Amino acid sequence: MHVLIVDDDEETLGLVASALRRDGHRSSLATGPEQALRAIAEASFDVIVLDVMLGDRSGLDLCAELRRTELHTPILFLSARGTVAARVDGLDAGGDDYLAKPFAVRELLARIRALGRRGPSLRPTLVQVGAVRLDFTARKAFVAEREVPVTAREWDVLRVLADAHGRVVSFDDILDRSWGEVSEKTRASLEVIMSRLRRKLEVDGHPALFRTARGLGYALESE
């Protein structure tokens, strides 16, 4: 794989580049957004490793800019902030994964390999299933052209399901990406949210948008 590493810390750049070389991968380095944009214009990458804080500019902003240009290369965020809110910010900006510093090199490499196998992420911005329309850019949901209220956490769950393009997403994956925590408490919260979403997005009394794989997870139907 060819990996672009974007970080303003020389030590981190060297550490990640050396680890990738030992793992049999090529890497290109950028210390800021402008270098990163030039590198992306000149070459294609399998994965981008992106620091959240890049001097005067946020890596979140750079990620959002790349997604607006229809670049779908998987992006792994690195950050000293490991809170759930920080992880959600990274995913909402268009990131595919998030790893807090300090990190274990073996875990970093495993995550990069997983993203490389996944390939470019084609994240739907608009999902239409029958009379239900979900606009992820505007964060607006409609049932038969009537807008219905959806909370931030409900959008997080819908985002995870929509990214799977109709495939079943395990309960633990939904919890990890939406809450950053897998526990009995978050499992109970997920059940409550799915029940609310079914009620909000039902059409003519039929909650047809979601499919439950008993004992496995949920899927968002697609047309």
Please state the domain extents for the chain.
Answer: 2-118, 126-220
- Return the pLDDT at 180: 75
Mean pLDDT of 14-24: 94
pLDDT exceeds cutoff 60 at 223: no
User: Does 102 sit behind a cis peptide bond, omega within 30 degrees of 0 on the bond before it?
Assistant: yes
Mean pLDDT of 171-199: 89
Alpha helices in 55-138 (DSSP H): 59-68, 84-92, 105-118
DSSP state of 164: T
CA-to-CA distance for 119 and 135, rounded, in angstroms? 24
pLDDT band at 84 (very low <50, low <70, confident <90, very high): confident
Per the prediction, the chain carries an average pLDDT of 87
Give CA angle at 64 (62, 68), nearest 5°. 115
- Return the pLDDT at 189: 95
Mean pLDDT of 50-65: 89
pLDDT exceeds cutoff 60 at 220: yes
Cα diameter, the chain: 59
Which residues lie below 8 Å from residue 204, measured CB to CB, with a gap of 6+? none
Amino acid at residue number 41: A
- Return the pLDDT at 119: 66
pLDDT exceeds cutoff 90 at 165: no
DSSP state of 162: H
- Return the pLDDT at 92: 83
What is residue 147's three-state secondary structure? strand
Crossing angle of helices 152-163 and 171-178, in 10° steps, is 130
Residue 103 has which token pair?
Answer: 């990190």
- Return the pLDDT at 55: 78
pLDDT band at 209 (very low <50, low <70, confident <90, very high): confident
CA-to-CA distance for 87 and 178, rounded, in angstroms? 9
Asked whether the beta carbons of 127 and 136 are under 8 A apart, the reply is: yes
pLDDT exceeds cutoff 80 at 17: yes
pTM: 0.58
Q: What percent of the chain has pLDDT over 70?
A: 94
State which CATH number among 3.30.750.24, 1.20.120.160, 3.40.50.2300, 3.40.50.9100 fits the domain covering 2-118: 3.40.50.2300
Q: 82-93 as b/e, with b when 16 or more CB fall inside 10 Å? A: eeeebbbbbbbb
pLDDT exceeds cutoff 70 at 53: yes
**In angstroms, what CA-CA distances link 223 with 62, 98, 128, 211?**
32, 30, 7, 13
CA-to-CA distance for 59 and 153, rounded, in angstroms? 23
pLDDT exceeds cutoff 90 at 150: yes
Q: Spell out the CATH class of 126-220.
A: mainly alpha
